[in-house]
Amino acid sequence: MNEVTGSKQGERWAASWYAVARASALGGARPVGLQRLGRRLVLWRDATGVARCADAACPHRGADLGLGRVQEGALECPYHGFRYDGGGACQLMPCEGRDAKPSRALTLRMHPVREAHGFIWAWLGGPAPEALPALPWLPGAPEPDANSASVEEVWSARFTRVMEGMMDLHHFPFAHRRYVPPGYTRLDPYEVQVDEGAIRTEGWLRKEERPPGTGFRFAISVAYPGVIHLRFTSRLEGAVVCTPVDAEHTWIAARFHQSYVRLPWLGWLAARLAIAFEFRFIQPDDHRMVRSSLPRSGALTHGHLVRSDRAIVAWHQLHRAALGDTPGAS
């Protein structure tokens, strides 16, 4: 069984790669302190510019290293100035003098890190295997470029409910009725395929009296645990990453890419307007729905799912497998 972490209130998270920050947020002079999977972490870049991740508590007296600074690639504690190199070893204890040899106990708990696709990824939720798997990225998902724009926010909702909401197509004409012409309520056709940890869905929301394959087409792909590729049109798509902050909150970072406009600055502006509309008007409705759903956590046994929830069923099956649960587990 894979080691898992989580809360006593029902959320559990499997050991995996999780996106923890946008790469652009991590400069060279200051560390970044954040919380992911209920664990306080610190990110910084070492002397070669490589991203590093460790538990944020200084092994000396527990100060939050996210409040410190980076000196010549070493992470310096804000409380007593102890410095830690890119491997987590203490290399300086100012109170003991430059020639003092720090104890091995003064070593940070490090987490494997990768920097790719515009994000910093950390292996969290359990011990890292000897051979780390590939990042859970979806081929074809948009990469950062001049025609893309990004946003991030934290939702007051549990990770399992957020992931359910991200894959839900048939909520759109109801939760977002202000922005959808009336009557497009029938999800047909609707196809779901699962292949090596990736869930690929395609569906049409149509009027009841119209033939299948008419109306609004949606395509959503998900890589477990929390990477989403959204295809709105042939020229507008999005990449979204979702990661638990703690048992009650989820960090969401999104990137929209458009190819309608490809002029300097205007391409970014067009993408920025699209993602601003999405997170100013559409996503608040989703946030309201998932944070108000009961029970607070999503699960196959929480609710009575229908055919149009097949992608949600597929994600929970992957989640159970990653947690090592048996089919009859809640």
CATH code of the domain in which 188 resides: 3.90.380.10
Q: Kind and range of the H or E element at 84?
A: strand 83-84
In total, the chain counts a number of residues equal to 330
Residue with tokens 């080691």: 3
What is the span of the domain harbouring residue 172?
148-323
Same domain, 246 and 312: yes
Residue 168 lies in a domain: yes
Q: CATH number of the domain that 87 lies in? A: 2.102.10.10
Same domain, 198 and 101: no
Residue 136 lies in a domain: no
Number of domains the chain contains: 2
By the 8 A CB rule, do 251 and 233 touch? no
Give Cα separations from 146 to 117, 262, 268 (angstroms): 14, 8, 6
**Please, which residues have CB within 8 angstroms of residue 322's CB and are 6 or more apart in sequence?**
2, 14, 15, 16, 224, 225
Cα 312 from Cα 317, distance rounded (Å): 9
Q: What is the dihedral of CA 107, 112, 116, 121, to 10 degrees?
A: -90
- Please choose, from the candidates 229, 208, 207, the residue with its C-alpha nearest in 3D space to the C-alpha of residue 220: 229
What is the Cα Rg of the chain in Å? 22
Residue 210 lies in a domain: yes
Q: What is the DSSP string of 269-286?
A: HHHHHHHHHIIIIIHHHH
Residue 129 lies in a domain: no
Same domain, 256 and 191: yes
Same domain, 152 and 203: yes
pLDDT of res. 73: 96
pLDDT of res. 18: 98
Same domain, 101 and 173: no
Same domain, 83 and 169: no
Same domain, 159 and 217: yes
Residue 139 lies in a domain: no
Residue 161 lies in a domain: yes
Q: What is the pLDDT along the chain (330 residues), one digit of tens a residue?
A: 344 555 445 799 999 999 999 999 999 889 999 999 999 999 999 999 999 999 999 999 999 999 999 999 999 999 999 999 999 999 999 999 989 999 999 999 999 999 999 999 999 999 999 999 999 999 999 999 999 999 999 999 999 999 999 999 999 999 999 998 999 999 999 999 999 899 999 999 999 999 999 999 999 999 999 999 999 999 999 999 999 999 999 999 999 999 999 998 999 999 999 999 999 999 999 999 999 999 999 999 999 999 999 999 999 999 999 999 855 444
The tokens for 24 are: 């652009």
- Please choose, from the candidates 40, 34, 38, the residue with its C-alpha nearest in 3D space to the C-alpha of residue 7: 38
Cα 231 from Cα 257, distance rounded (Å): 10
Instruction: Say how many C-beta atoms besides its own lie within 10 A of residue 251's C-beta.
Output: 23
Residue 177 lies in a domain: yes
Q: What is the DSSP string of 218-256?
A: EEEEEETTTEEEEEEETTEEEEEEEEEEETTEEEEEEEE
pLDDT of res. 329: 45
pLDDT of res. 325: 85
Same domain, 105 and 236: no
pLDDT of res. 255: 98
- Please choose, from the candidates 151, 144, 215, the residue with its C-alpha nearest in 3D space to the C-alpha of residue 185: 215
